[in-house]
Amino acid sequence: MHAWGFMLGVLPNVLIAGGLWWLRRPIAGERRAATVLLAVGCAALLLDALMNLVFRALGPPFVLFLLVPVTVALAVLMPADDAARIPVRIGVAALGIVLAAGAALALIPLETSDSFGGFRIYGTLVHGLGGLLWAMLGLWLGRRPNAEPRRPAWR
């Protein structure tokens, strides 16, 4: 269990934080508040990765209690002037909902959560569904709707 927590708590957080910061303009646009929220989210992910690395993922997922308000507020503050940003905004809102559900599950005492598989439900929700939402968000952000298709180099 701790090896999986260690693996799921370090590298993905670093990659997600780096990707979010790299793609901050398509997410936040020119809105300063959205950029600040992204910076807070990236810092939280990197700090959580560092804590997981140092303590070998033995602690509770405190990063959720910072990421939930950041993702919900970011979904509200994201500019919606471009049709290409609408799926990104929906993805960020869905991610906020999934992370909020994971934070709620983290508040259930272990005595209660073990009787219905709390770690399995939490892991499936936050790491499984949350990971899919992070990946979809990356695909939406990496897409260029008005770009010309690339031609192979040999032609």
Asked, for residue 114, whether it belongs to a domain, the answer is yes
Asked, for residue 149, whether it belongs to a domain, the answer is no
- % of the chain surpassing 90 pLDDT: 28
Asked, for residue 99, whether it belongs to a domain, the answer is yes
The domain tally of the chain equals 1
What the block records as the tokens of 64 is 């959720």
Other C-beta atoms within 10 Å of 103: how many? 20
More confident site: 108 or 87: 87
More confident site: 143 or 124: 124
Cβ atoms of 122 and 4 closer than 8 Å: no
How does the average pLDDT of the chain come out, rounded?
81
Task: Compute the C-alpha angle 27/32/33, nearest 5°.
Answer: 85
Sequential DSSP letters for 110-127: HHHHGGGTHHHHHIIIII
Q: Which residue blocks in 23-124 are alpha helix, DSSP H?
A: 24-28, 32-55, 64-77, 85-106, 110-113, 118-122
Domain span at 81 = 2-142
From 88, 102, 95, select the one nearest 72 (Cα to Cα).
95
Q: Read off the pLDDT of residues 50-63 as tens digits, 9 standing for 90 and up.
A: 888 887 766 667 88
Asked, for residue 12, whether it belongs to a domain, the answer is yes
